[in-house]
Structure 1
Amino acid sequence: MSDAKKAPQRSGTERAAILLLSLGEAEAADVMKHMGAKDVQRIGAAMTQLQNISRAEVQEVLQEFTTTVESQTSLGVGVDEYLRKVLIGALGEDKAAGVIDRILFGRSSKGLEALKWMDARAVSELIRQEHPQIIAIVLAYLDADQSADVLAQFPDWLRADVIMRIATLDGIQPSALHELDDVIEKQFAGKTGVLKTSVIGGVKTAANIMNFMDSSQEGALLEHINKVDEPLGTKIQDLMFVFDDLLEIDDRGMQEVLRAVPGERLLIALKGAEDGLKEKVFKNMSQRAAEMLKDDLESRGPVRLSEVEGAQKEILAMVRKMAEAGTVQFGGKGEEFV
């Protein structure tokens, strides 16, 4: 009992890593075969960072897993419906929707899913000669951070064209997506995966991709979009996750963020933050730490805007990962991007 009390609060990713480590190499490998690239990388990273796992904590994770399976498996429930409930419970409704579509509606895809295992430069070389609409579909399918890295390889004019096409995508016919999948599959072989069908693209997807882009590229891109289609640019900007949206994190979550963010990066990021966000940060630190940070902010000389924006982007990327792992939760519009 005492071990359980002292056990640290684990994120969903860390609990999954503990579960897989407890299964043994062969069994864990079999499970991970069914995961996407990002999930494998995230859980693999968590495995390397886990230390001093007590027997009581392993038993607690196993018991939680067993309880979850037993409570959600019952007679009369179809496999597809069971899978739906499990994934929604594990990932949340928004994130689970895409995964469910990929599993239930397209079980033979290889080409598109294999792109998730490639670096951004390789993906950009593979698709840069395609029509912008094809590029838009591919990037809408990939994870937002990878799509942002791919977009960074393109010239400004193509970047803007592709983002606008992503924002105005309204679903893709499964047959068309299968054709695209086949074309990509013919260019390389050896990777397996599943196909995502109808829920591709949209303003939210475009905004999420732009959240991961360099600040200078993001600004130029929004300016170009606003010139071509101002209402669309406004919709994208309204859904983008900005540094001051950290105000939407509850106090417990903010304390987790402050433990994870390097002090120097926090100091630089706060140089460009609203007073309300600064106060929230101070509130969730010890009195001594808050006083020291206030003194550092006052004594620190001018900092270039690009440096401030860079630090804020780093912290936002870190917070997104924490949100995906269930460590922090958002209210308001920021929740759309986690």
Structure 2
Amino acid sequence: MARVKDDYRSLTGQEKAAIFMLSLGDEHSGKLFEMMDDEEIREMSQVMASLGSVSSTVIERLFVEFADQLSSAGSLVGTFDSTERLLKQALPKDRVSNIMEEIRGPAGRTMWDKLGNVHEAVLANYFKNEYPQTVAVVLSKIKPDHAARVLSLLPENYAMEVIMRLLRMEAVQKEVLDGVEKTLRSEFMSNLARTQRRDSHELMADIFNNLDRNTENRFITALEERNRESAERIKALMFTFDDLVRVDQAGIQILLRQAEKDKLSMALKGGSEEVKDLFFKNMSERAAKMMREDMEAMGPVRLRDVDEAQAEIVVVAKQLADAGEINISQPGEEDELVF
């Protein structure tokens, strides 16, 4: 026989809430349940089911405390700051930070509602590092139109893996679903809440910059057929190795001093003739000859190695531009002459 709960001081906040709900009766507690999301209902139901017997003294004490707090509250103003201060009195600092980051993030009562308010490009960028089965679970829980937009932004082969798992998916076990929710809350929503929402075209430009060349060209071509305006905006925001032609001669000379010579040789091996000429013209005749010989001695090289080398050189160029050491002109920008 379960022991009767008769020590009010030992009750947790959840147990007090559960006792309160049970004491209200079906009609009033039902109205409160209607205002909760699924996760809150599950948590409350679990505590209620394991509550056992509660003495009348404890119930009376609970309602007296509730009435006292309600009558002494006066007017209330709910803000993020006041909520955070209240939580800090009862919860560990790290847990409070996670909760506040989540509620400051996209609106929604449940995790799936919140995901529905996250831009599809942001979701796709996060999902490409997840297991296809995890992505399939998430896409099965959000609205079909949103899931379709996310799926269309995933790499083609990866998207097909997700589709195959969606087709084979049966009822998802509660433990699996809870695990996915927990991961999304701790790793994705909290990080998202820390950052300001970026323009989707800027985000896609960064994503495309990290694709291999064949995949990038394939997606850009496909996007041009569907939405030429967006494709042009993304291409204008992207910065590739061949875009180094937009760097002036002084900037190229600074870049030559900063870049690793073996990486530059590999990058130039797959660069356009215009970029090669630009670099060679800004080297001494001897240095240019040695680099050409190094490139010829490489023989055939893997495209992946070229892409990686070019990406490293682009990173160096961007860092120098951010530091104000070199200037990268915008596409179509012409130098003005001052007389």
TM-score (structure 1 length as normaliser): 0.43
TM-score (structure 2 length as normaliser): 0.43
**Rg: which structure is higher?**
2
Answer 1 or 2: higher relative contact order, Cα 8 Å, separation at least 6: 1
